[in-house]
Amino acid sequence: AIESGVAQKVITDWETYAIELDKRLGLDNQLMRVLGAKARRNPKRLVFAEADNIKILKSAQIAYDERIAYPILLGDEKAIRQMALDNSIDIDDMPIIDPRNDEYEEKRQQFGELYFKKRQRKGVNQYEATKMMKDRTYFGCMMVETGDADAVISGLTRNYADAIRPALQVIGMEEGVKKIAGMYMLLTKRGPLFLADTTVNLNPTAEELADITLLAAKEVRSFNLVPRIAMLSYSNFGSSDTPEARLVARAKDIVKQKDPTIIIDGEIQPNIAFNQEILRDNYPFSELVDQEVNTLIFPNLAAGNIAYNLMKEIGGADAVGPILLGLKKPVHVLQLGSSVRSITNMALIAVIDAQLKCQNANQDPAK
């Protein structure tokens, strides 16, 4: 019920949507409002790679109407125009690109050559590389890579793993990052809660888990929040002397070595991390005493993925994500079958990511 009500409301204005969402969920999530305003201050050129899907087209319209983004639509032009007409969606100001069309042969050649350079020692030949550019996910990533666009969202109709490979192959990772990871922001009654890794790395080592934690912390800071991190396990500070629990404690130590100022502790169970009384009585030494935890790091993908889905489905939290962490440029991959509201939220995150990454690169490709 929340889904359809809010999805309709969002079409009129972002502010109303955020307030409505808060009311319906009984929350006070200023965060989405702040993010909406932030995106609007500097909208970016955002590629919607599956624009012949009605949910994507509606999200593009909302993002445009809300002045969050300048949408670029990828897909069959005739089909997109017909769908827009049938659903009274105004796409007059949105460029449509069909990577399969002859019109874009030169572009495919250019992108194919670049892709070949990147992948020539990974078993790809020139012919294949150019042919792959007919694929909208590759084409969209390549647009961002070459500066033809600022960000891309894709993956609604694809298996998640297949949708992130083009991003890994075309865009690659930020300097110093060894593994990308996925994070969800859950809008809960106690405020935003960030969960990682919920979508990418199956069984990270302690070093990898530490890197995931640092990536998540960086992202939380980009929302102007101080990360307060619980490294989750089934054990509390050595209560189960098992390899899994020790791995998490070791990851915490590595994070602390790399960033001594960060507020973090573990390994810890979530019920303890959120219960100040138990924490104070039993673990008074913990850094999480008197801290409101807002970032949860899971020991493996199974735990993270199951936790966010349970919180979403049973706990009634509103989930924004998956937000990809560690890529050099803003590519965000939707969960298969996402709702209009989730896609629009991801459009917002992609624009904010693009603002940040353009700033970091000290250049704005929109100019």
How far apart are alpha carbons 350 and 216 in whole angstroms? 16
Q: CB of 197: closest distance to ligand ACO in angstroms?
A: 8
Q: What is the DSSP string of 184-212?
A: EEEEETTEEEEEESSSS-SS--HHHHHHH
**What spatial distance separates the first Cα and last Cα of the chain, rounded to whole Å?**
42
CA 10 to chain centre: 20
Residues 141-160 that bind ligand ACO (CB under 6 A): 160
Instruction: Give Dmax over CA atoms of the chain in angstroms.
Output: 70
Q: CB of 162: closest distance to ligand ACO in angstroms?
A: 8
Contact region for ligand ACO (CB under 6 A) — 41-49, 161-169, 222-230, 311-319? 161-169
Residues in contact with 235: Cβ distance below 8 Å, sequence separation at least 6, in sequence order = 242, 244, 245, 248, 267, 269
How far apart are alpha carbons 158 and 170 in whole angstroms? 18
Select the residue interacting with ligand ACO from 53, 335, 344, 355 (CB under 6 A). Answer: 335
Residues 99-138 that bind ligand ACO (CB under 6 A): 122
Q: CB of 101: closest distance to ligand ACO in angstroms?
A: 28
Q: CB of 217: closest distance to ligand ACO in angstroms?
A: 17
Site string for ligand ACO, 179-218 (x = CB under 6 A): xx------------------xxx-----------------
Question: Of 12 and 159, which CB lies nearer to ligand ACO in the complex structure?
Answer: 159
Site string for ligand ACO, 275-314 (x = CB under 6 A): ------------------------------x---------
349 makes contact with ligand ACO (CB under 6 A)? no
Tally DSSP H helices, then E strands, for the chain: 15, 11
How far apart are alpha carbons 2 and 20 in whole angstroms? 10
Structure tokens at 296: 């949860």
Select the residue interacting with ligand ACO from 32, 164, 220, 331 (CB under 6 A). Answer: 164
Cis before 103? omega within 30: no
CA-based radius of gyration for the chain: 21
How far apart are alpha carbons 49 and 219 in whole angstroms? 24
Select the residue interacting with ligand ACO from 322, 324, 342, 358 (CB under 6 A). Answer: 322
341 makes contact with ligand ACO (CB under 6 A)? no
Question: Of 90 and 313, which CB lies nearer to ligand ACO in the complex structure?
Answer: 313
Contact region for ligand ACO (CB under 6 A) — 23-31, 165-173, 249-257, 265-273? 165-173
Name the site residues for ligand ACO (rule: CB under 6 A): 122, 160-161, 164-165, 168, 173, 179-180, 199-201, 305, 322, 335
